[in-house]
Amino acid sequence: MKTRFATRTDADAISAFVSALASEHIASSLGDGGLEKLLNSMDTDSTLKRVADGWPHICALDGEDLAGVVVVKPPGHLYHLFVRTDLHRTGIGKKLFAIADDWSLSTSNMRLATVNSSLNAIAVYNRLGFEVAGPIVETAGVRHQPMVRKNTGQ
């Protein structure tokens, strides 16, 4: 599995990839209007803005096809971590997380420390060292679980 940092030319593919996976895996946990709000935040323009603002988008590739994407909101917030459904539990997410964590440490001297987990991914983030940090939050139908990572030192 090859990984690389995304560029602006990847925005359409990343948007389509994360939107499809969000619709498949997250939609059922959202309230009224939540899916529309979530998908709007994942559209091409939003992706382009994050890239332009310096948020690293790291892609895992299966040949030429996206297999996974991780996005970091600097300095240490895990913004997206998506892996293609047929490749769940193959280590791709863990590899992408490690690359993103290393990037965060090398650029800000801090490891990834927070994530707003979709409700279906809490166990995944637990395995990556995150713990629940307060109650579930809902904004305009989008529900997430704030989580923190305790061991973020060097």
Helix residue ranges, H only, the chain: 11-25, 34-40, 44-52, 92-108, 122-127
110 — phi, psi (to 5°)? -140, 145
- Per-residue tens of pLDDT for the chain, all 154 residues: 999 999 999 999 999 999 999 999 999 999 999 999 999 999 999 999 999 999 999 999 999 999 999 999 999 999 999 999 999 999 999 999 999 999 999 999 999 999 999 999 999 999 999 999 999 999 999 999 999 998 665 5
| Domains in the chain, CATH or no CATH each | 2-110 (3.40.630.30)
- Residue 145 Cα distances to 40, 76, 112, 142, angstroms: 20, 17, 16, 10
The pTM of the full predicted model, rounded to 2 decimals, is 0.95
Strand 77-83, strand 114-117: pairing:
parallel
Residue 89's identity, in one-letter code, is R
